[in-house]
Structure formats: C-alpha cells, structure tokens
A and B are shown apart, each in its own frame.
Chain A
Amino acid sequence: MKHDHAVILDVRDLTVAYGKVEALHKISLSIRRGEIVTVIGPNGAGKTTLLSALMGLLPTTGEIVYLGHSQGREREVEYLVRHGMTLVPEKRELFAEMSVEDNLLLGAFDRYRTGHRDQMETMDEVFELFPRLEERRSQLAGTLSGGERQMLAMGRALMAKPKLLMLDEPSLGLAPLIIKEIFRIISELKETGVAILLVEQNARAALQIADYGYVLETGEVSLEGPSHDLAADQRVIDVYLGLGHKH
C-alpha cells in the first residue's frame, strides 16, 4: 500500500486498557494535513484517554502510523514532541509561577535543544494570533483568567511549530464569547497547514469548524462522517445538539 503523504496520523484498532478494564476499544481514525478532525462525545467516553494514548502517555495496542512511520518501541512523549506532535491538555498544565513569556519559551524547549534559535520569531507569530498574551507577557501564568490560560496553553503548544496539534476540551469552563474567540483562532490555525485533532464536549461549536468528526461513546466510535453530515444526523442532533443541551 502506498503511503499518502498528506496523512499525518492514521490509527487502526487502537485499544487502551487500564488493567482489565478497556477504556478504548478498537478505535480507528485518520487526520490529514490542514484538516480539523473532531472527536465529540459525552463525559467519560474516553476522549481524554484517546489523546493521552496518542501522545504516548499510555500503553496501547493496535497500529498508530504517524507521519508515515509505524510507531513501535520509540513511542515516547519526547520522540513525538520532537516530530511535531503536541497536546494541549484539558488541565492546560501551565507553569503557574512563571511568566507568560517563559511559558511560551519553554514551548520551544525541544526546538532549542535541537539547535533552532528562532523562538523569538515564533513568539511574535503567537502574539499576532493571541494579542492578549502579548499584553500579559510578563505576568505570571497563574494569575491569568481562564480564557487567557487556554490561549497561553495553545500558544505554548504552537511554539513547538507542530504538525499535529491536539486540543483537549479547549472550551471547558470558558464564557461563550471567549469560546467563540478560541474557535475562531482554531479555524484560523488550519490555514497554516497544521492538522488539528479537536476533542470537545461542545459538539455544536466543534462540528462548525471541523472537516470530519467522530462520535465516541463508552470507548467506541459509534458514528463518523464529514461534520456537516454529522451535524445533520438525527441521533447527533437529539443527543448532542438538542435544545436541552446546555452548550
């Protein structure tokens, strides 16, 4: 089979188990360059587990092909970061007692370590995307508002110049206006050619900007398709987009 170079990540039959309990069962998905793929689903469906597994934080079975290389023994966070995979985790995991600028700088740590010295230019690009961060550049990350923290977490991830950006619940705990702003930036990022894997509970917002979507329920993909098809699917409307749904 010839490899399609536009495919950034191709996952086949990914299974993750915590002891005997399977958290993810035979998940298959793929993401191409410049594409936003979303995984929606209820709380506890295994969305965060999926991202942690892809990032090499959890042991898995099944096949993961990243940038055309089947991932075997070297599937470690450090290796994946070096090859352009970044994760913006649900808890943001910022360095609270460091300034915004230092947080961003550390986003480029591995690039610095491998001899790149373009971190200041990259930071300017990040500031263009998130002007709020530039205003707060010397403020401690721990003193930022929720929306600014999410922006910083995303900015820090972009400092690594990623090929695949994985976002875990970027809308979590944010006000509607800020969510709108964050999602606008996510779709803007798509133009730069980075592939984005967006995990969201906020199905409406996610399907609006995504090209393709998967519905994850109790550890399995129950539905998949182009996002406008998913958004029109009666079951998705009833469960995730219905009027009773808060988001």
Chain B
Amino acid sequence: MDLQILLLLGQDGITNGAVYALLALALVLVFAVTRVIFIPQGEFVAYGALTLASLQAGKVPGTVWLLLTLGVIVALLDGIKLLRERRYAKLPPLLIFNVGLPLIAAAGLFAIPPTQLPLALQVVISMLLIVPLGPMIYRLAFQPLAGASVLVLLIVSVAVHVALIGLGLLFFGAEGSRTPAFTDLSFELAGTLLQGQTILVVVASALLIIGLYFFFERTIYGKALRATAMNRTGARLMGIPPMLAGKLCFTLAAAIGAFSGILIAPITTIYYDSGFLIGLKGFVGAIIGGLASYPVAALGAILVGLIESYSSFYASAFKEVIVFTLIIPVLLWRSLSTHQIEEEEE
C-alpha cells in the first residue's frame, strides 16, 4: 500500500471519526446527567439527514407530523398539570414551544416550497424540525422514570429506538438518500485529493466541540449540567431541577445528532435505519471514555473512525466486526483498572 492510499483512508477515517466523536460526546453527556444510555442517538442522525433530503426533494418530511403529535401530547400532559396547580403563567411558553412553533414550521413548509430556499435555510429548517423531538422524547419516555435504575432506562431507550426506526421507515420509505455536496471545492495535498466536504465535516465538528466546551466551562447552564452529573442531590438543593437538566441535555443530544446527520448526508447514503450503526460507533467511543470522560470519548471515536476506514481496505467484509471487537479489550481494561461510574444510591 502506498502513501496515497494511506492518506486517503486516513482522511476518510478522520471524517467519520469526527462525526462519531460528536455522537460520543452526546452519549456521554446524556448518560452523565440522566443515566440514560441513549440508543436512539443515531436515529437523530438519520432523521436529520433524511429530513434535509426530503426538503431538497421538495417533499414535506414526515417528521413534521411526529413533531406536531409529540408536541400536542406534551402540551396536554403538562398543560393539565399546570392548570391543576393553577400555575397559569407557565402555560403560554409551554404552548408556544410544543404546539405553536411546530405549527408554524408545518405551515411554512406548505406555504413556501422548500426546494426554492437556499441550502443554509433548509439546514436550519431541518434542525428546527428535529431538535425539539429531543426534549419531547425526554418528557414522554424518560422524565416519568427519573428515579428508575440504569437497566430500566436502557430498556426504555431500546424501545424508543425501535419506535423511531419504525417511524423512520414510515416517514422516509425504504430507499436511502444522499444530499448534494455543500461545496465542490477540493485541494491537492501530498498527491491526494482533499474534498471540500471532508474539510467541512471536520471543521464543523471541531467548531461544535469547541462550542460545547465553552458552554460547559463558561456558562452557568453548562456548569449546572455538569453539577447535576457530579452530584444530583447537591444540584437539586441549588434549585437545579433534574427535569430542566434532562431536557437541556436531550435538546443538546438531538441537536448534535441532527447536525451530524446533515454533515454526513452528502458523503454517505443514509437509510431510515442507518442511524443505529453510526450511533453504535459513537457508543464505542463513549465506552472508551468510560461514559464519563469527554476528551477520551472524542479521541476514542476518532480512533474508531480510523480503524473502520483501514479495516474496510484490508478486510472489507469484517469492517464492522473489527470495529465492534475493539470494545472487548477496552471493556476488559476498564473493568480491570479502577475508576468506574457507580450507580448512585438514593
């Protein structure tokens, strides 16, 4: 194998690895704050990519209906509770976020054919359609179980994953989609062609990671999320409600997922169920980080991307096997070395 192929594969690996890193960070975040192992993380990737593809194909994406339905259910559940407790002041924001905005999004889609919009606006609309699903799913599936064990939360997580896959098939059909590249630019580097799209993915991922870093280190809401992950009782006593923390990190996870999907939509064909495998590779990265360390999880995910890329060249048929086998030595090393996250006793 010559240098050129080596570089080409490395470029591929880092591109995929950057996306896995984003997902790994989201998984670590969700687990640290809510103890949910978020299997449906990958579905947000597929939903993001396929929603953008639907918009570009001039179709109304089925995710609009999901957003409207979930929004109405959340508004009903929380609205009745607020009415009972006579906390009327909180009703307008509840209705605006869960019913008003989805309705405006849906109306907008029917009023203006999305194909005529510039790409950036299509991306924004896709994000607006997918990201609110995160907190809504948290509200419906996980918030009522806040005190449950990690295992129960995992089972619910699998159920949500299966439901989203099924809905994905319903919304987008069995055919895969690929969106046109965001940019046609390309460069020569050491005799290899460097695709503009690849650079875009890596740069956008890096920017998002830096943004997340600032959010967690510099803003009081980011610190509140970290505090909840460190000490749930302490955080509650500061008036940081676990519910708020949960909603916030599911929103972030959905945003990261949808954004990753939009990033990779032009480089891979995404099917309704592609998200699962992509999410699992992020999960391997998260496991390398012990579901606790953000930098190690991100590096682990990039390693997963590289291994995947090189093994697809040497032993293409075993590509997935090799990647997922990686988890075994990591788990061994993790369980033999000391630090691990214990389940919190209440």
Contacts and interface: CB of A to CB of B under 8 A. Distances in A.
Nearest first, the 6 closest Cβ-Cβ pairs linking A and B are A110-B239, A81-B239, A93-B234, A95-B227, A95-B230, A78-B241
Interface string B208-237: 000000000000100110110011011111
A241 B240 CA distance: 40
A73 interface: yes
A106 B220 contact: yes
A87 B237 contact: yes
Nearest to B240: A109
Contacts of B241: 77-78
A74 B236 CA distance: 15
A27 interface: no
B78 to A, nearest CB: 15
Interface residues of B, number: 17
Contacts of B231: 93-96
Interface of A: 55, 57, 73-74, 77-78, 81-82, 86-87, 89, 91, 93-98, 102, 105-107, 109-110, 112-113, 156, 160
A73 B84 CA distance: 10
A112 B226 CA distance: 17
21 contacts: A74-B85, A77-B236, A77-B241, A78-B239, A78-B241, A81-B238, A87-B237, A89-B234, A93-B234, A93-B237, A95-B231, A95-B235, A97-B230, A106-B224, A106-B238, A109-B238, A109-B239, A110-B238, A110-B239, A113-B239, A156-B238
A95 B239 contact: no
A25 to B, nearest CB: 24
A164 B237 CA distance: 13
Q: Which among B85, B220, B234 has the greatest number of chain A C-beta atoms within 10 A?
A: B234
B263 to A, nearest CB: 31
Contacts of A89: 233-234, 237
Contacts of A112: 220
A95 B226 contact: yes
A113 B77 CA distance: 24
Given A81-B238, A93-B231, A105 B226 contact: no
Contact of B237 (A55, A74, A96, A113): A55
A86 B240 CA distance: 13
Interface in B218-270: 220, 223-224, 226-227, 230-231, 233-241
Contacts of A55: 237
